[in-house]
Amino acid sequence: MAWEVDSNARFVLPVLLAALQDRRAVVVEIAIVVPLYNEADNVDPLVDELTRVFASVAAPWEIVLVDDGSRDGTWERIRARAARDSRVRGLRHGSNRGQSAAVWTGLTGTSARLICTLDGDLQNDPAELPRMLGMLGEHWDFVCGHRVERRDNWVRKVSSRVARWARGAALGHDFADTGCALRAFKREALEGVFCFNGLHRFLPILVAGNGSRCREVAVRHRARVAGVSKYGVWNRLGRGVFDLVGVAWYQRRRIRRVTVERTG
């Protein structure tokens, strides 16, 4: 007896088969989120390096490149890489909104259970990420880097030291280097975290404040080889102090996790 296939099935079956063959149909376990602003010359070296580092990682992974309204060829480079490799995805802001907004777009633009972040200027060493991911589990929810040998100018070094003192005094958390973008964490560590301009500087403190178990580890730091820094004295130190007041208020007023008992 011959099987009868209606017209709808003739249309649906090829679509289902194509979906099964699409690598994007694989459930992504790890997402590497990278904010970029006018970093065209760094896109290809960054993706090449991340691809080499994660080649030995068994879990499915993706690279999420977020272009924060760049005015150079950053978006074109991202599109070209995404066209050649389905593990590379690009997201683009219609206008420049800042690093915190770009990071948040990347975090909300992936459903991966584990997330890594790093800057797109190649100063963070991607080779650190598998080690940091390996620390996540029963004991740690959030692992962040501490740049022990900074390859920055004296202005950035001094402002970072002042910021560390201010954060410790106001917030009660003594993270040595909350400005280091090299991080690996479980998605659930973001519970209760909200987006604001300055989020990327305070993320470890906000995560620790919701009860997540955090660890800071020493990581390598490299000199910038292309592009220019987007930060000076005011937008690192001045605005950071301004944000500190708001975060201090929130930390004192936030509702902590509670154990809830249910009847059934």
What's the pLDDT at 238?
58
The pLDDT value given to residue 108: 96
Residue 5: what pLDDT?
43
- 48-62 confidence digits (pLDDT tens): 999 999 999 999 999
Please give the radius of gyration of the chain, using alpha carbons only, rounded to the nearest integer: 21
> Residue 242 class from Cβ within 10 Å (0-12 exposed, 13-18 middle, 19+ buried)?
exposed
Residue-range domains of the chain with CATH? 28-253 (3.90.550.10)
Asked whether residue 104 carries a pLDDT value surpassing 90, the answer given is: yes
Calculate mean pLDDT across residues 177-196. Answer: 92
Whether 249 shows a pLDDT value over 90: the answer reads no
With a CB cutoff of 8 Å and minimum separation 6, the contacts of 104 are 195, 199
Q: What is the pLDDT of residue 173?
A: 59
